Structures are given as C-alpha cells and as structure tokens.
Amino acid sequence: DYKIIISENTNWQDFLHRKVGLNSFTRYSFKDKANFQVEFLNNLVTHLEEGYNIVPIDNHIYNCFSTEEWSQDLQGDFESYQDFVLKGGFGFVILKNNELIAGISSGLVYRKAVEVEVATRPNEQGNGFAKKLGAAMILE
C-alpha cells in the first residue's frame, strides 16, 4: 500500500526529496500531439518483433490486469471496464503470442486531461515496450 504525493511547488519538492524512504519519479505533461514527430511515433508502433502485437484494451484485457501484481495499476481509478469506457478511459497493451507483456492506460481522466499508467512484465523490461505504447497513446 502506498500514497502518491504530487506537487509543482519547488519548495515542497525539495522538502520531499530530503525525506528518507520516499521514492520519487518524474511526471510529464503534454498538451497536444502537434509538436510530436508523427512519422517517428508511427514507426515505433508498427515495428514490433514477430509474435508481438499492440492492441487496444478491451473488457477481457482490462479484467486480466488484476490477475498479476505488475499490471494491477493499469486498471486505474475505475470500478470496472464499463466505468473505464464510460469515463473516457482508453489504452493499449502489447501481447506476445496472446500473453500480456506490457500496457498503457488512462489511470484517471479529468478536465480534458488524462493521467497515464505504464507497466511492463518484469522479465520483459528494458525492451522499449513503454516507448512503443507511449507512442500509441499519443497517436490516439
């Protein structure tokens, strides 16, 4: 069980960085895809090794997220797949021979913004899957 503390205030950030036992991570914010190199993003999404596929999250995939610890956060702050869709949730996964390898999803949707969750099966990390999924999400 954990809590996430987010602040844009540099005084708070400095204070939190000095606290022992806290883990930090970087959050990124993008307003639109106008500044992205769309051809580069398309290239990332379309060039996958044989046996790997990027597919949109559906009901079955959404429910599979809860079966393994590494993918649970991909369900976001939604009560069900129906709630996910109703509130504008969306995302993609990478399947390898129909096995869930990595995913990206809108963990929270609010005020024309989306907070994104990205997760990769531990033994598949470091293969660029998060980058490919991020490209798919931006292009959507």
Q: List the CATH number of the domain containing 117.
A: 3.40.630.30
In a domain, 13, yes or no: no
Q: What is the pLDDT of residue 140?
A: 83
Q: What is the pLDDT along the chain (140 residues), one digit of tens a residue?
A: 566 777 778 888 888 888 777 777 776 666 655 677 889 999 999 999 999 999 999 999 999 999 999 999 999 989 999 999 999 999 999 999 999 999 999 988 887 778 899 999 999 999 999 999 999 998 88
**Domain membership of residue 102 as a residue range:** 30-139
Neighbours of 101 (CB within 10 A): 19
Residue 54's region, left for phi above 0, alpha for psi from -120 to 50, else beta, is beta
What is the C-alpha to C-alpha distance for residues 3 and 9, in angstroms, rounded to an integer? 18
Residue 109 forms part of a structural domain = yes
pLDDT of residue 58: 98
Query: Is position 94 within any domain?
Result: yes
Q: Is the residue at 102 inside a domain?
A: yes
- What is the domain count for the chain? 1
Q: Is 17 a domain residue?
A: no
Strand partners, 93: 55, 103
The span from the CA of 140 to the CA of 120, in Å, is 20
Tell me if 70 is assigned to some domain.
yes
Residue 46 lies in a domain: yes
Residue 11, domain member (yes or no):
no
